[in-house]
Structures are given as structure tokens and as C-alpha cells.
Amino acid sequence: MALIYDIMSDYHLIDKTTRDDAFGGVKPVYQVGASFQAKVIEDSSTEATVAEKQTSTEFFTVVTKGVKLDYHDIFRRDSDKEYFIVTSRQRDSEAPAQSTIQLAKATCERWEVPNGVIVDEGSSGTT
């Protein structure tokens, strides 16, 4: 069972908040949140390959341990600072409560921080 967990890497959830802008409105700001362990794997199914060619979007599966991702949650892989957005409901594929391996999976896509929107890492700086 330890081998399953050994392939996992460090990730961080990205929390969306808002701040006042200079024009009397608000702008979204993304902040680095809680850390968790996961593995992101490229989806190489026939359906994903066809969809990638039609949309130029890369599709992935994320397997997590100890965190439940919701639809449209954003997270970052720490090793290369790649961002992903969840495109399914992870609770539909959780391991049963009696299982000794508590993993869950969801689908996700590569995500880019919109122009002009800051990812604030607090004292760590900005990306």
C-alpha cells in the first residue's frame, strides 16, 4: 500500500477571493491555500484524445489522498507551478469508508491564471 502513496506529489489548493479595484468595483484574487498529496495523470483515452484535437484542451485525472476536491476547484502542482481546474465531482468516485486505501479521483484540465489576476502567496511572493 505504501507504493501507491509514494507516487504522489505536493499540491496546493488555490482559493479565490475578491479585492476592491481602482474603479470602485472588485477583482478576483487567487491565493495559495492548503497543501495536499495527489497525482495528476494525463487522460490518454480515445475520447480524451479526440476532444483534445477538437478543443486544444489537455485532459487529466487527479487522484488525491486526504482531500476532497469539488467541481471547479483550482489547484497547483508545487514541482512545476502548473495549475489545474477540476471538471468533475470527486465524491462520485471516493473509496468506501471501510477501505484501507482512502483515495478519490476526479477529472481536471490545465488552467491558466487570467491576465491581471494575482496569485498571492502571502510572504512567499507572487507567481
How confident is the model over 33-72, as pLDDT tens digits?
A: 999 999 998 876 666 566 656 666 788 999 998 788 999 9
**Residue 127 maps to a domain:** no
Residue 40 sits in a domain whose CATH number is 2.40.10.270
Q: What is the pLDDT of residue 125?
A: 40
The CA distance from 31 to 123, in Å, is: 11
Structural domain includes residue 17: yes
What mean pLDDT is reported for the chain? 82
pTM of the model: 0.79
Amino acid at 34: A
In degrees, to the nearest 5, what angle opens at C-alpha 2 toward C-alphas 92 and 45?
45
Q: Is residue 121 part of a domain?
A: no
The number of residues making up the chain comes to: 127
Q: Is the pLDDT of residue 91 over 80?
A: no
Total tally of structural domains belonging to the chain = 1
Whether 123 is covered by a domain: the verdict is no
pLDDT of residue 127: 43
